[in-house]
């Protein structure tokens, strides 16, 4: 049996830190490499900016995983921020901007759970998908201005937004919930 602590203690800090480290390594050496290869293959088509958004949901996953294991306000923000910091520190391609994005995406992901502790503890489909929706907004809006997406055609901008929303709901929402359901079956956690 596994205990999910809704209070900050040494175990909670270690769990969120481990999730941040593991996800930061996955972001850098897994997701970033796949993203770069796929984007490179789309350059000649003119739709490479859409590829920016196919994978966005993958980079939001640290927050809900942290909130699953440590169901308390702030755990998702800290988990995503740590993942972004690790990604930057080990050579992530977006440099220090990664930390800002991790902070915004993690905090936005918590909208699906905040302010009620019961939402963190239940970790329901509704909370996870709502968190994924807001994580996408937290990722898309700053990127829109930082990377000059406003200069793209309206059609391309709409395609990018729809693609990023589907990605967030699929990876950050559905995939994370399915993963945590497997943890529920294997660990049979209780929440204190």
Q: What is the pTM of this model?
A: 0.94
In angstroms, the Cα distances linking 2 to 5, 11, 77, 183 are 10, 12, 23, 10
Q: Which of 120, 108, 110 is nearest to 5 (CA)?
A: 120
Strand-pair category, 190-191 with 3-4: parallel
46 band by pLDDT with thresholds 50, 70 and 90: confident
Which contiguous run of DSSP H or E holds residue 6? none
Per domain, the residue ranges of the chain are: 10-186
3-state SS, residue 9: coil
Instruction: List Cβ neighbours of 84 (8 Å cut-off, separation of 6 or more).
Output: 24, 27, 92, 98, 99, 101, 102, 103, 105, 106
Q: Would the pLDDT of 48 be above 90?
A: no
Q: How confident is the model at residue 187 (pLDDT cuts 50, 70, 90)?
A: confident
Confidence of residue 135 (pLDDT cuts 50, 70, 90): very high
What is the predicted pLDDT for the residue at 121? Answer: 92
pLDDT digits (tens, 9 = 90+) for 159-172: 999 999 999 999 99
Q: What is the pLDDT of residue 73?
A: 95
pLDDT tens for each residue of 8-23: 999 999 999 999 999 9
**pLDDT by residue (tens digit) across 113-129?**
988 889 999 999 999 99
The alpha-carbon radius of gyration of the chain (Å, integer) is 16
pLDDT of res. 1: 67
Segment among 14-23, 43-52, 135-144 with least mean pLDDT? 43-52
Q: Could you read off the pLDDT of 54-106 as tens digits, one per residue?
A: 999 999 999 999 999 999 999 999 999 999 999 999 998 889 999 999 999 99
What DSSP element (H or E) covers 160?
Answer: helix 154-167
CA distances from 126 to 6, 11, 61, 118, 182 (A): 19, 27, 16, 13, 18
Question: What pLDDT does residue 189 have?
Answer: 87
């Amino acid at each position: 049996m596994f205990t999910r602590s809704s209070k900050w203690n040494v175990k909670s800090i270690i769990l969120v830190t481990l999730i941040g480290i593991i996800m930061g390594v996955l972001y850098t050496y897994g997701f970033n490499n796949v993203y770069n290869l796929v984007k490179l293959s789309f350059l000649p088509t003119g739709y490479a900016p859409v590829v920016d958004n196919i994978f966005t949901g993958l980079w939001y996953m640290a927050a809900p995983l942290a909130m699953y294991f440590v169901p308390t306000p702030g755990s998702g923000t800290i988990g995503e921020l740590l993942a972004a910091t690790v990604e930057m520190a080990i050579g992530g391609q977006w440099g220090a901007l990664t930390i800002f994005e991790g902070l915004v995406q993690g905090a936005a992901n918590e909208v699906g759970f905040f302010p009620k502790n019961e939402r963190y503890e239940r970790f329901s489909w509704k909370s996870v998908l709502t968190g994924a929706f807001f994580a996408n907004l937290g990722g898309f809006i700053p990127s829109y201005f930082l990377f000059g997406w406003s200069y793209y055609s309206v059609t391309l901008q709409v395609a990018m937004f729809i693609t990023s929303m589907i990605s967030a709901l699929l990876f950050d929402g559905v995939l994370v919930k399915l993963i945590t359901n497997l943890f529920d079956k294997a660990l049979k956690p209780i929440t204190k």
